[in-house]
Structure 1
Amino acid sequence: MKKTLLYRLLGLGSVPKKLLPLLEQEGIVVYDEGMSGWFIAKHVNGPGKRYRHRSEGFSGCLVVTKERLICYTYGKRQINISFEDPKIANLYVDIPKEEKLCLSFESSDFQEAWNGLIEFRFNTTKAHQFREALIEIGVQQGAAPDLRSSRQ
């Protein structure tokens, strides 16, 4: 998969330089950087935030080590969860199309006073490697359920 222009020009979407030695020490299982993707928020409500349907593109990285899952978009940490955290079972991984990886979750599972569905869609040639590594550590296969539709 082609890396994003912002990654090639400015390095946006790379693994933070300060974090890389720690991740290597933990034992990187699979990682990719400079990936294009989409952040999608569906019916998300939180303190000072209301999104009916919000999508924004990003250049980001995703890393699975032997200890945790990390995701950064435009240099901002989005996901950092240890595999020993029981909430890891609230993450969902899916491959809706070849070379596309989707990580989704109900925001209330990770942030108190929040609710709504969050998705990160990555374009990566390593989609199957990511899915296998994540399922092995307890992430659920498929898409996160939209709890809003079950409440109505």
Structure 2
Amino acid sequence: MKKTFLYRLLGLGSIPKQLLSTLEQEGIVVSDEGMGGRFITRHVDGPGKRYRHRSEGFSGCLVVTRKRVICYTYRKCQINISVEDPKVVNLYVDIPKEETLCLSFESSIFREGWDGLIEFRFNTNKAHQFHEALIKIGAQQGTALDACSSRQ
């Protein structure tokens, strides 16, 4: 996949240099950086935040190691979870179309005082590799939205 303009110009969406050696020591299973994507929220309430439906583009990176899953959009850490954390089963992974990876979750499980669905859509030619690695560590197939709909 073509890397984003902001990645090529400013390095936004790259794996942080100070973290790279640690991730390599943990054993990188699959990684990609400079990916374009969308950050989507549905009915999210948090401290000082309230989004009914919000969608914004980003340039980011996603890394799965033998010890954790980490995601940055621009230079902000969005996901950093150990593969041994029992909450990892609350991550949902899907490939809605070729070269698109969807990673979603209910925010209340990962952030105190938050509620609502958060979804990251990554444009990457490694979508199937990420999907396989995330399923292997315990993430569930599908989307958090589908899971919430089926419970109601």
Aligned to 1:61: 61
Q: Is the 8 A contact 1:4 1:34 kept in 2?
A: yes
Q: Is the 8 A contact 1:116 1:148 kept in 2?
A: no
Q: Mind listing any 5+ residue stretches in structure 2 that lack a counterpart?
A: none
Separation (CA, whole Å) in 1 of partners of 2:150 and 2:69: 28
Q: CA RMSD in A?
A: 1.4
Q: Mind listing any 5+ residue stretches in structure 1 that lack a counterpart?
A: none
Query: 1:112 Cα shift?
Result: 1.7
Query: 1:149 Cα shift?
Result: 9.1
Separation (CA, whole Å) in 1 of partners of 2:20 and 2:30: 13
Identity %: 77
Separation (CA, whole Å) in 2 of partners of 1:109 and 1:103: 15
Aligned to 1:117: 117
Q: How does 1:57-96 map to 2 (within 5 A)?
A: 57-96=57-96
Query: 1:150 Cα shift?
Result: 5.9
Q: Which has the higher helix share?
A: 2
Aligned to 1:26: 26
**Judging changes above 3 Å, is the alpha-carbon distance between structure 1 residues 50 and 111 closer, same or farther for their aligned structure 2 residues?**
same
Q: Is the 8 A contact 1:41 1:119 kept in 2?
A: yes
SS of 1:3's partner is coil
Separation (CA, whole Å) in 1 of partners of 2:38 and 2:105: 14
Query: 1:53 Cα shift?
Result: 0.3
Number of corresponding residues: 151
Aligned to 2:49: 49
